[in-house]
Amino acid sequence: MSTIELLFSYGTLQNVLVQLETFGRVLEGYTDQLLDYQLHYIKIEDISVIELSGKTYHPIAVFSMGDCVDGVVFKITQIELFKSDQYEVDTYQRIKGKFQSGQDAWVYVEA
């Protein structure tokens, strides 16, 4: 059985169409807050990502002590985690974040 991973999303991975295309299913999750980050926006150049998300500008979490970002923690498999790595563009890097709930989860932040 595959290990369950936790992945925090504050952006397009919350979109059901993005989830269906990326993971082949709708994800289950719960709300949480990423600590010490704030949202900025970046222009996406990857046409396939723009077509899937329907957006040219995507949010990106940038380190900012004392700030927080609202989002959803999704329960996914390791294989799905690798699929999410393929979906995200190079401007993002995946790290273990600090969350209001105290839970450990992966999150994509500014590279």
CA 44 to CA 38: how far, in whole Å?
A: 19
Averaged over successive runs of 10 residues, the pLDDT of the chain (111 residues) comes to 90 94 96 98 91 93 98 97 92 97 96 94
pLDDT confidence of residue 1: 56
Nearest to 30 by CA among 12, 7, 11, 53: 7
pLDDT confidence of residue 92: 94
Domains of the chain in start order, with CATH, are: 4-110 (3.10.490.10)
CA 74 to CA 102: how far, in whole Å?
A: 15
pLDDT confidence of residue 89: 85
